[in-house]
Structure 1
Amino acid sequence: MLAATVELLEEHGYQALTIEKIAQRSKVAKSTIYRWWRSRPELVMEAYTHVVARRMPEPDTGTVNGDLSAFVTQLSSVAEHSPRVQALRGLMPRPSSIPISANRSAGGWTAAVPWWPRC
């Protein structure tokens, strides 16, 4: 199911990805998918986590600087694969869908979403 998810995502993009298409490609029932993942974004994130782990093994150059340099070099290759970039962009919320509120204690604006970093 994870492989089918990534294949469909890279072929058609996030907006066209449906649980029905993933089930059909995986040759499983939709209920099987929903038994393991609560939502399409959750499934996509797990699928990409597995793909990235396979495509980008942890570098072990013997130094922290070497490891970081190798990691950033590998990471930059993601941007060279346009379908992958488009697929990942589909997971990002549109600015209009993120509720914004004034944070008077900080004197600035913050997004009212649980994963937004608080300073």
Structure 2
Amino acid sequence: MPTILIVDDDATIRGILFDLLSETYECNTASRAEEALQYLDVETYDAVLTDIAMPGLSGIELLTRIQDRGLATPVILISGKGGEADGRMLLGLGAFAYITKPFSLDEIEQVVERAVAQGSS
């Protein structure tokens, strides 16, 4: 079963995403990017779904650290702010996808499915 790492400092969002995705994927959750990096030290993930704005390291910094480790894990960034220009910039940095809040659960499912398919090919 593919494994997803969900990273968000908001426990409600983490719970919603976990409940949604754990029906199809094995999921781990982290409340901070630093915690996510510890998970990435010991486990391989098929995709990482992370908020951008968090205390400590941001989701963008998490993306950079994942890339610096040479991991090909697709990273999906979620933001409460931003627009099309921000999305293009994040995709240019190597994000698999950029999703803005409020998001639909269908959108999350579709993007994660595509990320997992890319990660396993």
What is the TM-score when the length of structure 1 is the normalising length? 0.24
Higher Cα radius of gyration: 1
Whichever structure has more strand as a proportion of its residues is: 2
